[in-house]
Every structure is written in C-alpha cells, then in structure tokens.
Structure 1
Amino acid sequence: MAELKLFPIGLQDFSQIRRNGYYYVDKTDIVYKMTHTDRVYFLSRPRRFGKSLLISTLRDYFLGKKELFEGLAIEKLEKEWKQYPVFHLSFAGTKFTDLQTFQIYMNYKLGEFEEKYKITNKNGYEWGSRFSELLKAAYEQTGTEPVILVDEYDAPLLDTMDNSELQLVLKQEVRKLFSPLKDMGGILRFVFLTGISKFSQLSIFSELNNLKVITMKDDYAAVCGITKEELFSQMQPEIKALADKNNMTYEEACAALTKKYDGYHFTENSPDIYNPFSLLNALSDSKLINYWFATGTPTILTRLIKKYNMDPESFDKGFPATLEMFDSPTETATDPIPLLYQSGYLTIKKAEKGSRFILGFPNDEVRDGFCKSLLPYYATELVSKNDTFLMRFSDALEEARLEDALKEMKAFLSSIPYNAEKQNENHYKTLFYLIARLCTPYVVKTEETSAAGRSDMVVETESTVYVFEFKLDGTVEEALAQIDSKGYLIPYSVTKDKNGNDKKLVKIGVSFDSEKRTLGEWKIVE
C-alpha cells in the first residue's frame, strides 16, 4: 500500500509545512504570475479556505527563502530570489469586541516593526502616520521596496456587524491604517489584502485607486482551495484508504467526497473547487463528517435570514441572481445574499448569459450544517431537544414505523413555544423542509419536483420513499388528493434500492391544526 501523505491539519504557515514534510498543494505558479503582473491586489474567499497559507507563501517568497520552494513550480520560473522587507499583518484569530482590542493589537504589531527598524513611536494611535514612517524607513535602510501582506482585513468589521456604531469606529481605524498607501505607491513592491467580505472600496480602500480585485477573475479561481483535478491526480492513496475504512469502492468514495465537500465556483469559468479544510480532514481521518461547518456557527447569517425572512429551500434548488446581487459591498447590502455568498454558504452553481448566475448551496456539508443552525429559530432553542426528535423521527422512518414517526412529530410541534409573529404557514413550510433535510442520514432527495410542483416533504430511505402533504386546516383526503392530482409520486416511480428493486412508495396526507399548531389527523397509503 502506498504511503499516506501527512496533511497539514489546521496549519496555515508555508514555512512550517515545507520544513516539516507536510503535503502542499502547489499553487506557486499562480503566485509567480500574480507577483509579476500587478502590484496591489485584493482577494475575498470564505474562512478556512487557505487565505492565510497563501499570504505566508507570498511572505516566504518575498523574503527570498528559495530553499522552501525546491521542487515546486516557481523554482523553474524565478531566477532572482530577491529579498524584500515584508510587513505581514493578520487580523485573523483576534476577536475585536471594542476599540481597545484593536488599539492593543495594532500597537503590538507596529511596535514589532518599529523595534526592527529602530523607530520611536511619536504618533500614538495614528496608524497611518506610524505605518508611513515604517515603510519609508524600511525602504531607506534596505534599499528595496517594501511588501505589505494583510490577512483578514475585515475581521474587526465582521466581529461588530451587530453593533453599527462600533463598526463605524473600527472602519475608520482600518481606513487610517491604509491611508498612506496611495502616496507610498512609488516605493512599494507588492500589496496583497485578503478578507471574507467585500466592504466598499470607498469606505476602506479609497486611497488604493490601483487596487486589482481578483475575487472573480478566472485566472485566480483556484488560488485557494483544492480542485477536482488536484484531488484525483494527487490523493489517490488517501481516497483508497477512506474507501476501505468505510466499506466503499474507490468510485463510491470519490462520489461521496464530491457530494460532501465539492461544488464551489468563485468565477464564471471556475473549475470545481473542494473546501480544503474539510477535504484534508476527511482524508486524514478517513471520515465523511461536517468539518468546516463545525468550526463556526454562522450566527450573523442566521440573524440576517431571520431579519429578511428568507426561504432556505430556495438555496437548495438554486435561484437566479445578477452579479450586483452577490458581489457587492457588505455594508450596502439590503439582504443577506452578499454575505452568504462571500462567506461560502452560497456559491455559483451555474453562469448564464450576461451577468446572470444561479446561486445555491455548494454541497451537502454546507446544506446540512446551515439547516441545523436554522432549526433552533424555527423550532426550539434547545438543540438537544431538536436533535432527540430528529433521531427518533428518523429511526421510526427507517424502521418503517410510520405511526410512531408521526406521533413523534406531533409531540415535537406541540412543544414549540408559541410566537404569533412568526408562526404562519411559511414558518411551518420551512420547518418541515428543515426536518426533511436533517431527519435521516439516509435521505437522498428532498427537493425533487414534478411537472406540476412538489410535495411539502419527501424523505427517501434505503428502502422507501415517503411523500408527505400537509393541509393547513384542511382534511387528509384533500392532502392525499393533491399528491395524486399534482403527480408528486411520479419522480420516484423508478427509484431503486441498492439491490436494484423498486423502492416502496408511501404517501401520507396530514391535516395541520393552525389553532393547536400541531398535526391533527393523518392517513397513510402505500
């Protein structure tokens, strides 16, 4: 058996990865192209997508550490390996909850540079003046142009999204830091800034009039993340190990990795890109679980969805959007779409003519994690109570105990605290969708649509397809009649189990009592 690679789990430092023999997906040809094309760049990508690793790769390249790049694409491209003074600022990892936190961080970082270049701080909290002096001193003392690398520039702004007053203060502080860069343009070799979100150039980077935004440029689509080609050409032994551990064929493991972690497209002609954090963890552990989503619940995003009353089901099916709808400044957005897209919870599923696109969930990991994070809002805030219901409901469905499953749902819905403001028909429609998405690890489809529409909830297990129709203050007969008249069963009439046999089709008509806010009667027809 081939020796398995040592993956750099949680490690985002190029130097450590190369010195300690960790596996590195070679992006240095793109690094060379970038550093020899323009001088001032901005790149937006979701969290844990390799932005910090890219920044540290640029840092070591500009520090002239040729030995770290042996065997990589750039070794044949670069001839000079010149050393430059590098100013590396990272706002990742610090929680900016007040102005003082920002001031402490900036004093510490600029203080380090001032000590290196023997400068006494005479400008206090005037970050622009201090940074300007540093850049001039570095240029004069070394005779070479300084390089500026800023990772997660927007962390202070995202941390304060629910406090507009503090966000405005920190926005001004960040802008002060970058203000001298326009006048320094003549002596700067390279400037590279990364972030998750896209705050308007006017509010942050108004002085950087030559800023090259490469977020949606095809040439740089794969600069972060792992492409399908990189995965299947370079990680075959690890895929085989995952397949063996999970009793899968190699082909089944490839399909499972694709379904779980693939699906990102950052530009119009982007290759398929896998979430690198989840993919490397899955191959390292030989497990197919939700790694990326488990590292941070999108509280800001769920708050936005509640505020704008958006339907997560549309993210599943995909919805049309213009470029202006999602590639727009965060602070001017009138809905959550830009932040959802920039944060990696939505991606480009298809590029259409002109500037029209279809956006949707990139993969199962994001879909399931997102739905689970929304459930406390639509059901009960007690996560353990939601999870207990989902386990009991899914077990009952898998064991074909349909009466028990419906009794579990009735009890669960009855226990949800009443909120007249939000518990309307759309609220319950979304709740049923979330339950269907989360109720069982065997679920294959919940979004199939017939020519005439779709049922309220479809759950497909290994042996059976259950089609539910809920009638608000109606009868079970009306619900069953709608399943028949609309042809909701038609998409599943040729569905096979793993042995090639037809799956059992079961339709369930349910009356929903709006006054009691739970299930009334139901009827099951096989």
Structure 2
Amino acid sequence: MKSKLPIGLQNLREMRTQGYVYIDKTAHVARLAEEGKYYFLARPRRFGKSLLVDTLAEAFAGSRELFEGLYLEQHWDWSRKYPVLRFDFGSGVLRFREELDKRIGVQLAEQARQRGLVLEREGIASRFEELVLRLAEATGQPVVLLIDEYDKPILDNLSEPERARAMREGLRNFYSAIKSLDPHLKFVLLTGVSKFSKVSLFSGLNNLKDVTLDPRTATVCGYTHAELINSFADYLDGVDLEEVRRWYNGYNFLGEPVYNPFDILLYLDNREFKPYWFETGTPTFLIEQLRARHIHLPTLEGLWLEEELLGRFDVDSIEPETLLFQTGYLTIQERIWEFDTYRYRLGYPNREVRVSLPRAVLNRYVPDIMAKERTRDRIGHALKQDDPAALEPAFQTFFASIPHNWYRRNNLAGYEGYWASLVYCLFAALGVETRAEEASHQGQVDLVIEYQGRIWLLEFKLAEADDGQRALDQIKTRGYHLRYIGQPVTLIGMDFSREQRNLVGFSWERIEETPTTAQP
C-alpha cells in the first residue's frame, strides 16, 4: 500500500502511526543530544522546523514505538524519560505586547495544567522559572525546553518598528529566565527564521550554539535529492526529476543542497510546477526595504556579503540583503576565506524564487494587473518572434501605467538602477534566462536575455536625448557582444527620462556575424 504524503503535518506521532511518508532525520537528533545542550537553528518558513521540534520532543519523552526502524531506535537511551516543555509562536499574528504576554501566559498555564500543577508566582519570567523548577522536582529529571518560531512576533511587526521593539522586549523578558535555569535543563533548542543578536534577545545566554550554518546540520531540515528519490519512489512515475530540481532544489546551508518540503509535497500531490512556497507569504516588507535602500533585484544575483552581515539582524538595524538570505529568497552559492573572514556569494536558490520575486516586485510597483499582463504578453510575443522593435511601445505603455503619485516621496526615477530593475523584472517574470551586469573584458552589460538560442543585450542610460543611440554605442564600443561568437546577437539601447518617467529613446541593431578573432 502506498504511503500517504504528509502535507501540512508537523506531528511525528500521526505520521508514524497512520502510514505517512517520513524521511529519517533522527541521526541529527542523536548527534545534537550527544554533543551539546543549548542550540539555535534558523531556517526559512515551511522548512520542517516544527516537525524537527516534535521529533525531539517524542525522543526525549521516551516514545520508542514511534522510532521503530529509524536510526534513533538503536542509538538512544530509552531507559530515561525527560519532561518536555514546548512553546510555539508560529500561529496567528500578534500586534501588541499585551497579546504576546497573554499568549505566553496561556501556554505556561496549559503546560502546568497538563501535569497537574498550579503556578502561583506573578510575572511571565517568574512563572516560567516556577514551571521548570517544579517539573524537574516532580519528575527527578532535568527539563527539555523547545521553543518553535521564537522570532515570529517580531517579524510580523517589522513594518511598525515600535511594535516590533515591544515584541522584542516581551520575548526578551521570557527568554531571560533560561540562563538561571541551567542546572535544571537537559536540552534547549530555539528555532526561527531570523538570527537576532544575542544582545537583543538572549542577554547572558552566551552558550547558545548557532547551528544554522553548521555543515553537520545542513540537511536537518529539507529533503536532499537522494532522500526525494528514495523516500518518494512510489510518487515519481513520469516525473521529470531534473525539472523538479531546477524548480525547487538549491537551498544551501554549507552542505548538500536541499528542497523545501512544502514545495515537494504539493508538487507530488498536484503534479504542476507552481510557486507553492512563495505564494504562502508576501515579501511586501522586503520589497519596501529594497526600494527604500535603492537596492534592485539585478544586483542580488551574485551578491557578496561578509559573515558578520550575513548573520546580523535586529529591529534597529535591518539590512535587506541579510533578511533576504535569512527568509530564504537568497541562498549561499559560494564561500571563500578572505582578509581573515568568510565571505559568501548569494543568489536565488531555484526557479521558483527567481521568477516569483520579480513578479512580486512588479505587483508592488504596478497595481494595474491588466497593464502587467498586457506588457507580459507583448514582451513574450517579441521574444518568440525575435522582434526587438516591439519592445519600445510595450515598455512605454508599461511605465506609463505606474501611478504618478507613486513617485511622490522618492526620487527613484532619477536612478538608472530603477529602470534597469523593472526591465529585469519584466523579463525574469517570464521565466526566460535573464542575467544582469554580465562582465566582459571591457566592462559589463546591463542585461542579457537568452531565449531559444538567441541573445539580446540591453544597455540603459538616464538621459534626456530621445534617440537611445548612446546606450547602443556603449555596447558596440566596449564589445560586450564579442563573447557570443557564432550566436545570433541583438544589441538594444534604451534611454529613460527622469522628468517624463518613461522610455524616451530606443534603438537596436542586429549583429549577423561576430568576428572570429575576438576574445571573450
């Protein structure tokens, strides 16, 4: 009988007792329990963090029957059972500190009630301490503490900094009790999306080990390609595995790349390539941060960050690039040791994000859905027909559809990168090969479009002259096209006006033959 797909399940007991597919990650559980006590793990949303927490809870609680046939069955001391406290901030959206305090209070009271305890102290931190102490005393065993989505109340309020700070203070009040409880704790794990600084949230908890980018835990959440093939073999008939890999694989935490489980499960259930994960969360705040910092999508592919910036985040110091990485819209492509620090090259993890993020940017800039659809159709037709001249009216109509009041509080029309970013988004949203700022021996061209064996090279200029020739001349003068020997190449120059906020110059030229003596 075919196993069932665990769509939406985060409960180990239900998966193991009702015949759902379960990928054995319990070797990670054994190693974590053996090698340390305090852990922190960050992963993007819907990556299986809650199932990991549930697996740890069942193991420490001594539920041996759930691990039959798994690694942990023979690699765990089942003679001892530990009391487990679980706190979860993943459900709902909290907007006020009072709501957060109430949520914590309810979870404390409920866990005490389940064990026949009545908490007598006042204040959240004090009641938390009381629960741990009385539970350890009653059972004679130290307590296992598991906190899932520890940062969600803050992340949900980043667009309102004062609310986010209030949530941070409320959580810090709760987490501050952990250090003093050390003699009574067996194991501690906090999971979330972002890595907030220890100073802002975990003052004094200096022994919290961050395993987010530890190669040994790179695959603790998510599915490797081998796990996909081995565990879901019954569901893979007729599946193009390379296309599945291109769409959903590619998240890199300094080990073997992994798939987002949410994507895989829904794809195998529906058999349609769609941005399942992306559509469960709208990165509106991120897009606003990119706009406010004049950071445009073409510059994100191949972005380099130092280790300090990659892992640093707080309400009072939000770096959009860091947040894009921590939330899963960018992933690690390469790591090098340079100038006594690690540097990381980031990029989009897969086709899902590469196409969906530009679409989300367009949706934010242009609320007129039909205008976007018409532009998409016209650009797609121009590509299919190899008709670059058709781009000019398509882009002019598109930029005219952006409401003028959108520019009221910014000067983006005065930045060349703004125009380059929107043109990039229009092509990338089609799903065609789109490369920004591709380097050659004499510089870098703004945009490369590759479609059906043909190359379009686009260069942008911010100018008032309405001829587009200046941008085109730069491509030719600097020989950006010479690397594409033997391929059909079209050169396209675009001039944009900061006053008219539109395309005012457009010219193009077909290069029929590229000199064979040119050097790439």
Distance in 2 (alpha carbons) for counterparts of 1:428 and 1:460: 20
1:183 maps to 180
2:279 maps to 294
Cα shift at 1:330: 2.5
Contact 2:427 2:434 in 1 (8 A): no
Q: Which deviates more, 159-168 or 298-307?
A: 159-168
Cα shift at 1:384: 4.4
The count of aligned residue pairs is 499
* Secondary structure in 1 matching 2:344: strand
Cα shift at 1:107: 2.6
Question: Residue 326 of structure 2 is aligned with which of 336, 342, 351?
Answer: 342
Cα shift at 1:56: 0.6
- 1:65-107 Cα shifts (integer Å, max 9, x gaps): 1111111111121242532211111100220111232133223
Distance in 1 (alpha carbons) for counterparts of 2:113 and 2:411: 58
Q: Aligned pair in 2 of structure 1 residues 473, 232: CA closer, same or farther (>3 Å)?
A: farther
Cα shift at 1:192: 1.0
1:381 paired with 2:370, answer no
Question: Residue 315 of structure 2 is aligned with which of 314, 331, 339?
Answer: 331
- 1:483-514 Cα shifts (integer Å, max 9, x gaps): 3233333344445xxxxxxxx43333444444
Q: Aligned pair in 2 of structure 1 residues 515, 162: CA closer, same or farther (>3 Å)?
A: closer
Question: Residue 107 of structure 2 is aligned with which of 100, 106, 109?
Answer: 109
* Secondary structure in 1 matching 2:268: helix
* Secondary structure in 2 matching 1:344: coil
1:366 maps to 353
Question: Residue 433 of structure 2 is aligned with which of 444, 467, 492?
Answer: 444
Q: Aligned pair in 2 of structure 1 residues 28, 320: CA closer, same or farther (>3 Å)?
A: same
1:197 maps to 194
Q: How does 1:234-249 map to 2 (within 5 A)?
A: 234-236=231-233, 238-243=235-240
Question: Residue 280 of structure 1 is aligned with which of 233, 258, 265?
Answer: 265
Q: Aligned pair in 2 of structure 1 residues 129, 279: CA closer, same or farther (>3 Å)?
A: same
Structure 2, gaps ≥5 residues long: 511-520
Q: Which deviates more, 126-135 or 231-240?
A: 231-240
Cα shift at 1:524: 4.1
2:138 maps to 141
* Secondary structure in 2 matching 1:36: helix
Distance in 1 (alpha carbons) for counterparts of 2:250 and 2:422: 25
1:484 paired with 2:476, answer yes
Distance in 2 (alpha carbons) for counterparts of 1:359 and 1:509: 29
Q: How does 1:289-328 map to 2 (within 5 A)?
A: 289-316=274-301, 318-328=302-312
1:163 maps to 160
Contact 2:448 2:456 in 1 (8 A): yes
Distance in 1 (alpha carbons) for counterparts of 2:2 and 2:272: 15
- 1:265-308 Cα shifts (integer Å, max 9, x gaps): 223xx222222221332233222221111110112211221222
- The TM-score, its normalising length taken from structure 2, stands at 0.89
Distance in 1 (alpha carbons) for counterparts of 2:490 and 2:321: 37
Q: Aligned pair in 2 of structure 1 residues 52, 485: CA closer, same or farther (>3 Å)?
A: same
1:458 maps to 448
Q: Which deviates more, 292-301 or 466-475?
A: 466-475
Q: Aligned pair in 2 of structure 1 residues 120, 236: CA closer, same or farther (>3 Å)?
A: closer
Supply the AA of the counterpart residue of 1:50.
G
2:376 maps to 390
Cα shift at 1:431: 1.4
Structure 1, gaps ≥5 residues long: 244-252, 496-503
Q: Which deviates more, 35-44 or 411-420?
A: 411-420
CA RMSD of aligned residues (A): 2.4
Contact 1:436 1:458 in 2 (8 A): no
2:63 maps to 65
Q: Which deviates more, 479-488 or 365-374?
A: 479-488
1:422 paired with 2:412, answer yes
1:82 paired with 2:80, answer yes
Q: Aligned pair in 2 of structure 1 residues 523, 301: CA closer, same or farther (>3 Å)?
A: closer
- 1:5-36 Cα shifts (integer Å, max 9, x gaps): 53212222222221221111211001011112
Q: How does 1:223-262 map to 2 (within 5 A)?
A: 223-236=220-233, 238-243=235-240, 253-254=241-242, 256-262=243-249
1:248 maps to none
1:263 maps to 250
Distance in 1 (alpha carbons) for counterparts of 2:102 and 2:331: 36
* Secondary structure in 1 matching 2:247: helix
Contact 1:47 1:196 in 2 (8 A): yes
Q: Aligned pair in 2 of structure 1 residues 421, 56: CA closer, same or farther (>3 Å)?
A: same
1:92 paired with 2:73, answer no
* Secondary structure in 1 matching 2:66: helix
Q: Aligned pair in 2 of structure 1 residues 333, 100: CA closer, same or farther (>3 Å)?
A: closer
1:355 paired with 2:342, answer yes
Contact 2:454 2:489 in 1 (8 A): yes
Cα shift at 1:332: 5.2
Cα shift at 1:43: 0.9
Distance in 2 (alpha carbons) for counterparts of 1:373 and 1:479: 28
Supply the AA of the counterpart residue of 1:341.
F
Distance in 1 (alpha carbons) for counterparts of 2:446 and 2:230: 42
Cα shift at 1:341: 1.6
Supply the AA of the counterpart residue of 1:359.
L
